Chain A
Amino acid sequence: MPLGLQVKRDVRYIAPEVWFVPVSVFEIWRVFILKIKNQEDFWAGLMFVGFGALAIWLSTDYPMGTASRMGPGYFPTYLGGIMLTLGAIVALMSLKSEGGGKITPFAWKPMIMLSVGFVLFGWGVDHIGFIPALFGLSVVTAAAGQKFNVVEVLVMTAVLIAGAVGIFIYGIELPFPLFWWR
């Protein structure tokens, strides 16, 4: 049990021994990040380092072989190494470089809506049929935009479904069930 927690009765109280190290590490990190001028390159570099490390780690499961008889692990391990090195250089250079700027905020709502729409479609075609899946995709996707007028969206969805069924089911005969009763 952590030292500080059992002494004090106040549940909100967490002893300094517990929080001091993580909080100060976080604080140093935060100040350090804020000082970097080229945020884009810094995070890009970190991302590449991450992907490189992931590739190397995953490749440890595959036999390396030798240069003359390359195993399945050979190529990805080397690629991962190159990526890790270059990514680290990108991140380090961003500490000094002048150009580049802050990263603009992420558009969370569209990101979630578009993803949900796609998942609905991917899962839906086989389970509830092409037409309901398209309906879900179109309506949820439309909700990602700034304006959402129910009548407008329903009309648009109807047009899209009619077009898609015409082109893909009757036109080029893709083998999708139209509804859940097939």
Chain B
Amino acid sequence: MEADIISNLALGFSTAVSPVNLFYCFIGVLVGTLIGVLPGIGPVAAVAMLLPLTFNLDAVGAIIMLSGIYYGTQYGGSTTAILVNLPGESASVVTCMDGYAMARQGRAGPALAIAAIGSFFAGTVGTILVALLGPPLAEIALKFGAPEYFSLMVMALIAAAVLAHGSMLKTICMIVLGLLVGIVGTDVNSGMSRFTFGASGLADGLSFVVVAMGLFGFAEILSNLQDKADTASRDILNQKITGLMPTVTDMKAAFGAIVRGTAIGAFFGTLPGGGPTISAFSAYAVEKKLAKDPSRFGKGAIEGVAAPESANNAAVQCAFITTLTLGIPHGATMALLLGALTIQGIAPGPQVMTQRPDLFWGLIASMWIGNAMLVILNLPLVGLWIKLLKVPYRFLFPAIMVFMAIGVYSVNNLDLDIYMTILFGILGYIFLKLKCEPAPLILAFVLGPLMEENLRRALLISRGDPTVFITRPISAAFLVATALLLTFMIIPSFRKKREEAVADSEAL
């Protein structure tokens, strides 16, 4: 078994260190960081926007580059949080508090460095976890039948609702809406066009790029244009950054936080529906609880940077475990990555590991290499990021719009896709106004067709008997877990905690 892992990792590294793949990894990480640094554009929109860059690559190169973009944006987000007090994306919201406080004390260098070191540590642990847990999970997953898959997806979606911000009932509505949007297109079994309103361009269904760009790109720009009076309010650090490296005391203080943050991130990352945001938030809360002097937090405590940064990176890495082995994405970005695989002609699922070991292990190895690159790349480039942050928003948003338009159009060369993006953009803007969380919608949109197919198959095998979902043990276990999640939500004390957490994170 261990020998297996070593030989597998060797295969992975030999794939990943080929000059071409190293180059893709580098470009992905660099471009990802660049976009992550810019406030107001998150990982989902970034990956969707840059998807066309990978069309001409082979599958391995494409997935390596896209995952590089993903953790690059995550990391770039923390740079912005520390330097400007603006979260580049939602997972770095907590980093703002102590990171920016440190920066104001002239300790931006150590804050950035500890974020990088914490992320690298978490990334390394995450990579090992993927390598260790991937194969056995894939083996279990190969035994899954239609009922198991259906129940697993129900669990993933409910978990996403529980862990999301805001009202759970509204989030479940968004999930159902996502499933309905997933129905648009030709029904595979009957060949009937559903919800297409007669448009032939919708016969193949809506492209996830369209939905993602609309809900996350277009809508986000609309709300930014309304909220922010250009960049006047941006508080860019003008002090020179001196002393990049943290001191020995810093390292000692941060070490425990990094380890705990990594553990928390790994836990939430592996859970379907959990993601970097909730990991970062929980890790921060844990550190504050454990600290001898909690009042230091918010005033530049290094643990307050180390823990959430390690946690969100661990979560990003561990998200690959279930995504790659089960073929079930558990977040919007992972859904995009799987979509990219599908475009490359690879059906995501447990069979990927046996059929395309170079892809699977190459990706794992490149994740580690990518994390190392992030450390090496970011510290020297801080100056460049600061310059980038000084670009006013009035130049940024037309550029983002241009890239989005090209990204959407290039998927199918279809003008209808552009018009649908507008529709989803306006819809996404309305969702923002009504405080409806769009991320679960996109997850449900991707899972929708899979869910319908597995439901159909499960009921076909059981001759229409719905008890099949509870008489098969694995499927029953998933449903019991789902029921537990839902009961937790009804228990008042837990519910209050969650509401407090949500309120806290909104107040930040």
Residues 396 to 451 of chain B near chain A (Cβ within 8 Å): 397-399, 401-403, 405-406, 409-410, 413, 415-419, 421-422, 425-426, 429-430, 433-436
Residues of B within 8 A of A68 (CB): 459-460, 462-464
Complex interface bits, A58-70 against B, C-beta within 8 A gives 1, otherwise 0: 1100110011111
- Chain B residues near A76 (CB-CB < 8 A): 180, 183, 194-195
* A47 and B426 alpha carbons, distance in the complex (Å): 14
Judge whether B410 and A146 touch: CB under 8 Å.
no
Is A18 an interface residue when CB atoms closer than 8 A count as contact?
no
Task: Scan residues 97-131 of chain A and give those whose CB is less than 8 A from a CB of chain B.
Answer: 100, 103-104, 106-107, 110-111, 114-115, 117-119, 121-123, 125-126
B290 CB to nearest chain A CB (Å) = 31
User: In the complex, A38 Cα to B191 Cα: how many Å?
Assistant: 43
A48 near B177 (CB under 8 angstroms)?
A: yes
Q: Is the CB of B52 within 8 A of A141?
A: no
Q: Which A residues lie within 8 Å of B433 (CB)?
A: 40, 103-104, 106
Name B455's closest neighbour in chain A (CB-CB): A75
B167 within 8 A of A: yes
Q: How far is the CA of A122 from the CA of B413 in the complex (A)?
A: 9
A100, B435: Cβ atoms closer than 8 Å: yes
Which single residue of chain B is at the shortest CB-CB distance from A142?
A: B398
Q: Closest CB-CB distance, A79 to chain B, in whole Å?
A: 5
Contact check, A144 vs B434: say whether CB atoms are below 8 A apart.
no
**Taking the nearest CB of chain A, how far is it from the CB of B366, in angstroms?**
20
User: Across the interface, which residues of B come within 8 angstroms of A80, CB to CB?
Assistant: 180
Asked whether B229 lies within 8 Å of A146 as measured between CB atoms, the reply is yes
Residues of B with C-beta under 8 A to A67: 459, 464-466
A79 and B180 form a contact (CB under 8 A): yes
- Quick check: A58 and B434 within 8 Å, CB to CB? no
Residues in chain B near residue A62, CB distance under 8 A: 187, 190, 192, 194
Q: Is B128 an interface residue (CB 8 A)?
A: no
Interface residues of B in 353-370 (CB under 8 A from A): none
| Residues from chain B with Cβ under 8 Å of A110 in the complex | 221-222, 225-226
Interface size on A, residues (CB 8 A): 68
Interface residue tally for chain B (C-beta within 8 Å)? 67
In contact, A141 and B397 (Cβ under 8 angstroms): yes
Q: Is the CB of A90 within 8 A of B187?
A: no
Q: Is the CB–CB distance between B422 and A83 below 8 Å?
A: no
CA separation between A75 and B459, bound complex, in Å? Answer: 12
- Tell whether A180 is near chain B: CB-to-CB under 8 Å: no
A118-B422, A172-B52 given as contacts; is B180 within 8 A of A55 (CB)? Answer: yes
- Nearest B-chain residue to A138, judged by Cβ: B398
State which of B179, B222, B223, B401 has its C-beta within 8 Å of the C-beta of A117: B401
Find the B residue at minimum CB distance from A125.
B409
Contact indicator A138/B402 (Cβ below 8 Å): yes
Closest to B403 in A: A164
Q: How far does the alpha carbon of A53 sit from the alpha carbon of B230 in the complex, in Å? A: 41
Instruction: Give the residues in chain A near B226, CB-CB below 8 Å.
Output: 104, 107, 110
- Which residues from A are CB-within-8-Å of B413? 175
Q: How far is the CB of B170 from chain A (nearest CB, A)?
A: 6
A169 to B111, CA, bound (A): 40
The interface residues of chain B, by DSSP majority, are classed as helix
CB atoms of A44 and B173 under 8 A apart = yes
Interface presence of B452 (CB below 8 A): yes
A149 to B492, CA, bound (A): 55
CB neighbours of A107 from chain B (8 A):
222-223, 225-226
> Could you tell me which residues of chain A, from 32 to 85, have a CB within 8 Å of some CB in chain B?
40-41, 43-44, 47-48, 51-52, 55, 58-59, 62-63, 66-72, 74-76, 79-80, 82-83
Find chain B residues with CB under 8 A from A66 CB: 464
Contact among B394, B421, B429, B436 for A44, CB-based, below 8 A = B436
With A110-B222, A122-B419, A146-B230 known as contacts, the answer to whether A69 contacts B460 (CB < 8 A) is: yes
Q: Bound state CA distance, A121 and B398, in angstroms?
A: 13
Instruction: Point out the residue from A41, A72, A83 that lies within 8 Å of B176, measured CB to CB.
Output: A83
Instruction: Please state if A145 and B180 are interface contacts (CB–CB under 8 Å).
Output: no
* B434 with A40: CB separation less than 8 A: yes
Is the CB of B56 closer than 8 A to any CB of chain A? yes
Q: CB of B288 within 8 A of chain A?
A: no
Q: Is B297 an interface position by the 8 A CB rule?
A: no
A5 within 8 A of B: no
Residues of B within 8 A of A89 (CB): 169
The reply to whether A63 and B176 contact each other, CB–CB distance below 8 Å, is: no
> Are A72 and B194 in contact, with the CB atoms below 8 A?
yes
User: In this complex, what residue of B is CB-closest to A127?
Assistant: B415
A86 touches B (CB below 8 Å): yes
User: B213 → chain A, closest Cβ, in Å?
Assistant: 10
A168: contacting residue among B187, B410, B459, CB under 8 A = B410
Tell me whether B247 is interfacial, beta carbon within 8 Å: no
Q: In the complex, A70→B190 CA distance in Å?
A: 10
Please tell me if B142 contacts chain A, counting CB pairs below 8 Å. no
Report yes or no: A122 in contact with B397, Cβ–Cβ below 8 A: no
B190 and A40 contacting across the interface, CB-CB below 8 Å: no
Given contacts A48-B170, A107-B226, 10 further A-B contacts (CB under 8 A): A40-B434, A71-B190, A79-B176, A83-B173, A87-B173, A110-B225, A114-B425, A115-B422, A119-B419, A121-B405
Which 5 pairs, one residue from A and one from B, show the smallest C-beta to C-beta distance?
A122-B418, A68-B464, A67-B464, A107-B226, A122-B415
- Interface residue ranges, B against A (CB under 8 Å): 52-53, 55-56, 167, 169-170, 172-173, 176-177, 179-180, 183, 187, 189-190, 192, 194-195, 218, 221-223, 225-226, 229-230, 393-395, 397-399, 401-403, 405-406, 409-410, 413, 415-419, 421-422, 425-426, 429-430, 433-436, 452, 455-456, 459-460, 462-466
30 contacts across the A-B interface (CB closer than 8 A): A40-B433, A41-B434, A48-B173, A48-B176, A51-B180, A59-B194, A62-B194, A66-B464, A69-B460, A70-B455, A75-B455, A76-B183, A79-B176, A79-B183, A80-B180, A83-B173, A83-B176, A86-B169, A87-B173, A93-B169, A100-B435, A103-B434, A115-B426, A121-B418, A122-B409, A137-B402, A138-B401, A144-B397, A156-B395, A168-B410
